[in-house]
Structure formats: structure tokens, C-alpha cells
Amino acid sequence: MALLPVNLYGDDILNKKAVKVTKVDDKLLAFISDMFDTMENADGIGLAANQVSSSHSLFIVNLSHIEEYAHLGKMIFLNPHLENYSKESVVKEEGCLSIPNIHAEVVRPNAVTLVYQDLKLEKQKLEADDWLARVIQHEHDHLLGIFFTDKVSDEKKKELKKALQDIKDRKIDCDYPVTPKKKKK
């Protein structure tokens, strides 16, 4: 079991768009395994590669602790692209391993269609709703350099400003390994 340090809000890699996965080899498979170890250690349900210092366009999800999703097990999405969104939106609270100790209500479509590649780089399509759709959208946003805090009201953004700065400055307690604060040049 290898735990990867999680990048936190303010780290440059989280603001960049991910690059396409073109090859699945032992190194990538080991990295994905480490991603699952890291996510589970931090009690997460989804993790994008850039959250653990990789520019690969991939994210993982595991909602098996939720009864209705237990049959899905561990899910891996390479080169994902959201194709369709439902007209119905729902508001639910979200959190993020890269933004520890902060939660906020976010409006998102209740259902999505995700087109992605599996570990054989074969094209797949997944229709998802409710929690799975929310986690997919959250992790997909990471690959585009978007945080859930970018989707809250201006009032909420002002309320979170100091807490987000504290995360950037690493003035937080975290129960899992995180990247060290970058020194200014």
C-alpha cells in the first residue's frame, strides 16, 4: 500500500487541464492502485490524477459503501468526457480531499452521460445519476482545473476566502499526507 501526498488548493497542477492517457502499462496500473489506497486512506469517494501530482486524464471512484452502488465496486475512468447533462439539477453538499475541512452546497445536473476509455483504452459510455453523477462531475471538473468552490455563490466564495488561503498556506490539520507548501521563487 502506497499513499500519495494529496495536492491542496493553490497547487499549480490543480489548475491545469489534464493530458490524454495514451498507454496503459504497469507503471500506470501501479499508480492507479496507489490512487485507490490514497483515496481510501483519506475516506474519499473519488480522486483525480492531478490531485496526486499526475497530469494524466483519469479519475477513480468508489461508492461501494453506499448500498445502491455497492455492486459497481472500484471504477476507473481514462480520458473522460461528459456528453449529456440532465435538465434537472439538484443541490447537495460537497467536499474535496484537495480542500480539506470545507464543505459547501453545489448545484449540479442530477444525471450525466460520461464517455471514457477503460484500461484497454476501449471506448465506454456510462449513464449516471444521483451520487454517482455528482462524483463523476466533481472529479471530471478537477481534470479541467475546476474546484467545487468555483461553483458556489459569490457570497459563499467571500465566506471561504480565508479558509482557502489557510489551505494554500498549509495552516490546516489533515488526516492524510499532503504536498508541502511550495516555496516562492
Annotation says 93 is catalytic? no
125, exposed or middle or buried, with CB in 10 Å at 0-12, 13-18, 19+?
A: exposed
Annotated catalytic residue: which of 40, 93, 127, 139? 139
Classify residue 80 by burial, with Cβ atoms within 10 Å: 0-12, 13-18, 19+.
buried
Burial group, residue 176, by CB count within 10 angstroms (0-12, 13-18, 19+): middle
| Look-up of cell digits 480565508 | 162
Strand, helix or coil for residue 30 = helix
How far apart (Å, rounded) are the C-alpha atoms in residues 109 and 35?
Answer: 27
Cell numbers placing 40: 481510501
Other Cβ atoms within 10 Å of 145 Cβ, number: 15
Amino acid identity, position 152: V
Would you give the DSSP letter of residue 119? T
Q: Are 37 and 2 in contact (CB under 8 A)?
A: yes
- Give the residue numbers annotated as catalytic, written as ranges: 139
